[in-house]
Amino acid sequence: MQVAIMGFGTVGSGVAELILKNKNSITSRSGQKSFDIKYILDIRDFSSHQLANLFTKDFNDILNDKDVDVVVETMGGLEPAFEYVSKSLEAGKSVVTSNKELVAAKGYELLELAKKNNVNFLFEASVGGGIPIIRPINQCLAANETDEVAGILNGTTNFILTKMIDEGMDFDEALKLAQANGYAERDPSADILGHDAARKICILASLCFQKHVYPNEVQTEGITNITKEDVDYAKAWGGVIKLIGRAKKLESGKISATVGPCLIKNGCQLASVTDVFNAILVRGDAVGDVVFYGKGAGKFPTASAVVADVIDCAKHLEKRKLLGWGPAENDYVITPDEQSSSLYIRAAVADYNKTLNEINATFDGAQILNYEGASQTEISFITPLMNEKDAREKIAKLNLETKNILRVLDY
């Protein structure tokens, strides 16, 4: 079997190295007689690379070569990835991608195209890097109806929050350290504003609930607004702040889809996920909660997922795998207003005791948070579990100078 790799960046080069390193076991597990890389597409010059003879700058070399059974797309971005992947599928080649932007924006179209051409379009590496998650949801949990899927889906922001929690750094300091370590880009906005996590929750929600969810349907909030005070109040409550992507089936049959910093209790599986690690929780009606944990990014973890998909394509060269979802539906993804939530609020106060009394009069069972050294010019509390819209209206009526409102999760 012959493979072409498009894009020789971190992931693409990891895919090539991994195939060469574990070639014997990979070939045997694929059920094929051979398992070879025939082309590597990259516009940059790799003429002195040890694999130099495999490189091409012309996508048509891959497209027109009948020997190429599987195309790996690790270029990233929407174009030309979308064009190349579409053409490859139309030419009867299976495609494996690690490109979450592509799957979140074009997943339904590409899955339909794969179906039409009787080939596979697999994307295990697009969520959670090396963590097995797409295939387990699709196959291992196939007997379940999913109630909820949620997780720590972005390693960069989890690293930043970990440094804020464990070492008392402020956001800017932790971001700089993430950049110095190569975890954050020079322009870190896709990570810290939550867009990367939003793409991933789209893919998970589409798979779990079987209708395509687009990034613009996800209520997305990043972590730039989180301060040391929030971290300390969360500690006083007995938990941590994590950036959580979450999609949840509501009683109406619709779903809510959000990305935002949330408070979660210490002791739950997501709370102990630190540094650049990711974890994804799936709540099924039969299985209950299952959690998948591991490295959500990086050269070899991501390559591990890509190559596993290539092996799966090799096993299914004649018969398609059943993997996919239906088109998006209007008004299917709704704002989380109608879900039950408990909210964390931090606000500036002029008169602490007066505000305290107003909060207690407004919310029966509000939990006031405090820690040693907390400023008396701020107040922080947690509402009881209630309709989120009602809670937000009540908070608005309190006329607080609100610094942060975060959801509190009950995992």
Active-site residues, by number, are 200
Query: In terms of CB distance, is 18 or 395 closer to a copy of itself?
Result: 18
Q: In the stretch 307-346, what mask flags binding to a copy of itself with x, by CB under 8 A?
A: xx--xx--x--xx--x------------------------
Q: Which residues contact 81 (CB under 8 A, 6 or more apart)?
A: 6, 73, 75, 97, 99, 102
Question: What angle do helix axes 171-180 and 155-167 make, rounded to 10 degrees?
Answer: 130
Please select the residue that binds a copy of itself; options are 208, 301, 325, 404, rule is CB under 8 A.
Answer: 301
> Taking the complex as a whole, how short is the minimal distance between the CB of residue 17 and a copy of itself, in angstroms?
9
**Which residue has tokens 């060269």?**
317
Q: Which of 51, 78, 236, 290 binds a copy of itself (CB under 8 A)?
A: 290
Residues in contact with 18: Cβ distance below 8 Å, sequence separation at least 6, in sequence order: 300, 303, 304, 307
> Nearer Cβ to a copy of itself, position 139 or 357?
139
CB-nearer residue toward a copy of itself: 167 or 393: 167
Q: Residue 173, exposed/middle/buried by CB under 10 A (0-12, 13-18, 19+)?
A: middle
The residues pairing with 261 across neighbouring beta strands, listed in sequence order, are 243
Choice between 297 and 369, CB closer to a copy of itself: 297
Nearer to a copy of itself, 143 or 350 (CB): 143
**By the rule CB under 8 A, 52 interacts with a copy of itself:** no
Q: Distance between CA atoms of 162 and 278, rounded to whole angstroms? A: 12
Residues 319-323: contacts with CB under 8 Å, at least 24 apart: 320/114, 320/115, 320/118, 320/119, 320/120, 321/120, 321/122, 322/138, 323/111, 323/120, 323/121, 323/122, 323/134, 323/138
- Using CB under 8 A as the binding rule, whether residue 350 contacts a copy of itself is answered as no
What are 410's two structure tokens?
A: 């009950």
Q: Name the minimum Å distance from CB 289 to a copy of itself.
A: 6
Closer to a copy of itself by Cβ: residue 118 or 189? 118
According to CB under 8 A, which residues from 116 to 175 bind a copy of itself? 124, 130-132, 135-136, 139-145
Among residue numbers 371 through 400, which ones bind a copy of itself (CB under 8 A)? none
Distances in Å between the Cα of 116 and the Cα atoms of 92, 93, 112, 281 are: 10, 12, 6, 32
Contact positions with a copy of itself (CB under 8 A) in 248-277: 267-269, 271-274
Distance of CA 278 to the CA centre of its chain: 8
Q: Which of 401, 267, 268 minimizes the C-alpha distance to 345? A: 401
Regarding 304 and contact with a copy of itself (CB under 8 A), the answer is: yes
Determine which residue in the list 286, 330, 331, 364 makes contact with a copy of itself, applying CB under 8 A: 286
Residues near 330 by beta carbon (within 8 Å), at least 6 away in sequence: none
Contact status: 305 vs a copy of itself (CB under 8 A): yes
By CB under 8 A, residue 115 contacts a copy of itself = no
Catalog residues that contact a copy of itself under the rule CB under 8 A. 14, 18-19, 21-22, 25-26, 29, 31, 124, 130-132, 135-136, 139-145, 267-269, 271-274, 284-295, 298, 300-301, 303-308, 311-312, 315, 318-319, 322
